[in-house]
Amino acid sequence: MTRYLPLAALALATVLATVARAQQPVTKDAPAVAAARSIGTTPTAAAARLFVDSVERRLDALSVTVNQAEWVAATYITDDTEALSADAQQRYDAAAQRFALAARRFDGVTVPPDLRRKLTLLKLAFTAPPPSDPAKGAELVRLTTGMEGAYGRGTYCRRGALGQPAATTGDSTCYQINDLSRALAESHDPAVLLDAWRGWHAIGAPLRPKYERFVALSNEGARELGFADLGAMWRANYDMPADQFPREVERLWKQVEPLYVALHAYVRTRLNQQYGDAVVAKDGMIPAHLLGNMWAQEWGNVYPIVAPPNASPTYDLTALLKAKNVDAKGMAKYAEGFFTSMGFAPLPATFWERSMLVKPRDREVVCHASAWTIDNKNDVRIKACLEPTADDFVTIHHEEGHNFYQRAYSSQPYLFQNGANDGFHEAIGDAIALSITPGYLQQAGLLATPPSAAADTALLLRQALDKVAFLPFGLMIDQWRWGVFSGAIKPSEYNKAWWDLRARYQGVVPPVARSEADFDPGAKYHVPANTPYMRYFLARVLQFQFYRAMCRAAGHTGPLYRCSFYGSKEAGAKLARMLEAGQSKPWQETLYEMTGERDMDAGAMLEYFAPLKAWLDRQNAGHPVGWTPRTATR
């Protein structure tokens, strides 16, 4: 390992060498070099300002190259595009890592709050900081790019239809994640569900040694920046002491746990009635392949099985979209229309020209939906493989929420161009999606007549199957990674620890025994792509706080779950102020200005689902509630 002396003791030549090692032509680093030269041997506030301003300009320029290369690699997967993306990312990471190390020189200097915040954010900018050794840094980038590409190419091939005995002759049929997810969403045949689940999860095993090496390298980079490990670095990014953050998320979980446990018990009972004791025990954990989603993270697809008996008629948004012949672009237009109804400017023409909204027929792509800003200004895009379904209708609102956020804070300095915390970024579009009420669908021309109030329980249940069911999954992924990064979870226990956490928090068990020959975390995009996941758990809480604040601004009265602020310029103005602030101040201040609350709190979510919780408790009377965690690995 390369050993670094404390930066406060570095001479000018060392700082210059640090900057010059960034893998770009030296002339392009001239501003940063000039800033480094001005530092001299005595760090000052003026030198810190000059340094940060120069670094921001340099990283801004480098990031555009990275964004362009990563876009091509994700929308046209080949060995060449992966290599180009890895090279661009390595150049950015090398420069950013050198600058982050140099920023430590100013740790003891008194500087204005905004400058101190930038210096801190510069050190926290990585999801996987590269080691200073150039060879190791290049290896880390190749690993991360390669793992994401391998996930995107993931395929399950077999002779014969899903769920049927394998044929001995004939061509194989190959399935990718969209195909297998569709089978899990639509089939009620346990054999088909198991085949699809097991086929996709097999893609994780080859990633295991790569992930283990990734952990070692990224931890090395994090330690060079002064953190105990990569997990500690991630937790330091929430405007609170890093050791306080796990307690904060556990506090939020304890608020919502009773609601989740009640939902779990109700769904388990209905699945038991559907499939029988041999498939789903009345009082145990739920097999992961039966919940309508590859990772059992959202359960909305099992609604037809668990719908309230004799429920008043509601509506099928997927059927409504298909009846109107709404395609992927049409769904994106509906989402854009919601934001423009609140006073936001339309998306630029380049969004429609450059986004990938459907899966191309001629090449491999990463279908996992994501929102991009290419130039950190107005070139915003979405990469997705949308289909005209209710789930994707929500997804496109979520992703455009990122785009509108990116545009709103584009006038901020580079280091402030982000969400107040990463949960904010995820929560924006979801808060908008909570406004996809029957009333809104009628306004948008998708629904002729909204269902009566008697259907409210059914609508709330359908919403909870996604919003509430997701909570423990959103919590446990980074719980697992924190343990992996710290060494508390050894490589020999990767899979066991994964399923132990899922048992503890979700009450979910794999449908077949798993072993350490498997690597089921690798079958979830965010693990090989190294995307921190706690943001999604926080977003599930924050979106209801944002939603309630905008409903109040819109003058809504009545039950919270019936609110839609579509067309409310007052709600839009409140939202715009929050988005424009970016990451320029602690999230607690931004949250207070938006909601009047300084803490993340699940109270708004509990208010939204209060009628459903009372109904679930009545349904669960006389049935087992809760589960005893047990391992399913050997």
Is 117 found in the same domain as 158?
Answer: no
Kindly state whether residues 175 and 43 are assigned to the same domain. no
What b/e sequence results for 76-109 when a residue is b if at least 16 CB atoms lie within 10 Å of its CB, and e otherwise?
ebeeebbebbbbbbbbbbbbbbbbbbbbbbbeeb
Whether residue 434 lies inside any domain: the answer is yes
Query: In this model, does residue 380 exceed pLDDT 80?
Result: yes
Instruction: Report residue 423 as tokens.
Output: 């949960």
CA–CA distance, 470 with 464 (Å, rounded to integer)? 9
Question: Is residue 275 situated within a structural domain?
Answer: no
| pLDDT tens column, 364-373 | 998 989 999 9
Secondary structure (H, E, C), 116-163: HHHHHHHHCCCCCCCCCCHHHHHHHHHHHHHHHHHHHHCCEEECCCCC
Residue 403 is assigned to a structural domain of this protein: yes
Q: Which of 70, 224, 399, 400 is catalytic?
A: 399
CA distances, 596 to each of 552, 566, 588 (Å): 11, 22, 10
Which has more confidence, 312 or 69? 69
Claim to verify: residue 58 and residue 179 sit in the same structural domain: no
- For residue 176, the enclosing domain spans 153-206
Evaluate whether residue 109 is within a structural domain.
Answer: yes
Amino acid symbol at 624: P
CA distance 431 to 405: 13
Would you state the pLDDT for residue 94?
A: 86
**Is the pLDDT reported for residue 28 higher than 80?**
no
The pLDDT-based confidence of 112 (bands split at 50, 70, 90) is very high
Query: Does a structural domain hold residue 99?
Result: yes
Residue 18 is predicted with a pLDDT of 29
| Residue whose entry in the numeric block shows the structure tokens 């259907």 | 455
410: tokens are 């584009």
Work out the pLDDT band at 126, boundaries 50, 70, 90. confident
**Known catalytic residue: 399?**
yes
Known binding-site positions = 238, 398, 402, 426, 535
- Give the chain's length: 634
Q: What is the mean predicted confidence (pLDDT) over 567-596?
A: 96
DSSP bridge partners of 87: none
| Same-domain check for residues 332 and 394 | yes
293 in a domain, yes or no? Answer: no
Helical axes 208-224 vs 79-103, angle rounded to 10°? 20
* pTM of the predicted protein model: 0.87
The predicted structure's pLDDT at residue 68: 96
Indicate if 165 and 121 belong to the same structural domain. no
Please tell me whether residues 341 and 387 are part of one structural domain: yes
- Please name which of 222, 194, 124, 303 lies closest in space to residue 484, comparing C-alpha atoms: 222
Whether residue 381 is found in the same domain as residue 328: yes
565 residue type, one letter:
F
Residue 120 lies in a domain: yes
pLDDT digits (tens, 9 = 90+) for 497-550: 999 999 999 999 999 999 999 999 999 999 999 999 999 999 999 999 999 999
| Residue 392 three-state SS | helix
Q: What is the pLDDT of residue 36?
A: 47
Number of domains in the chain: 3
The answer, yes or no, to whether residue 37 has pLDDT greater than 60, is no
Of 76, 108, 125, the one marking the end of a domain is 125
Written as one string, the DSSP assignment of 568-630 is -HHHHHHHHHHHHHTTSS-HHHHHHHHHS-SS--THHHHHHHHHHHHHHHHHHTTS--S----
Among 426, 362, 435, 343, residue whose Cα is nearest residue 393: 435
Residues 361 and 433 in one domain: yes
- Using alpha carbons, select from 499, 478, 540 the residue that is nearest to residue 259: 540
601-624: per-residue pLDDT in tens? 999 999 999 999 999 999 999 999
- Start-end of H helices in 241-292: 245-275
Q: What share of the chain is helix, strand, coil (3-state, %, to 5)?
A: 60, 5, 35
**Are 47 and 185 in the same domain?**
no
68 in the same domain as 24: yes
Rg (C-alpha) for the chain, rounded Å, is: 25
Same domain, 324 and 436: yes
- pLDDT of 454 above 90: no
Among positive and negative, which fits the CA dihedral 624, 630, 633, 634? negative
- 333 lies in the same domain as 428: yes
Binding region for Zn(2+): 398, 402, 426
In the prediction, which pLDDT does 309 show?
A: 84
User: 3-class DSSP state for residue 193?
Assistant: helix
- Residue 261 domain-assigned? no
- Comparing 42 with 370, which gets the higher pLDDT? 370
pLDDT digits (tens, 9 = 90+) for 298-357: 999 999 999 998 777 788 899 999 999 999 999 999 999 999 999 999 999 999 999 999
Q: Which among 526, 556, 593, 597 is annotated as catalytic?
A: 526
What SS3 state is found at 306? helix
Q: Where are the alpha helices (DSSP H) in 507-584?
A: 534-553, 569-581
Residue 8 has pLDDT above 80, yes or no: no
3-state secondary structure of 5: coil
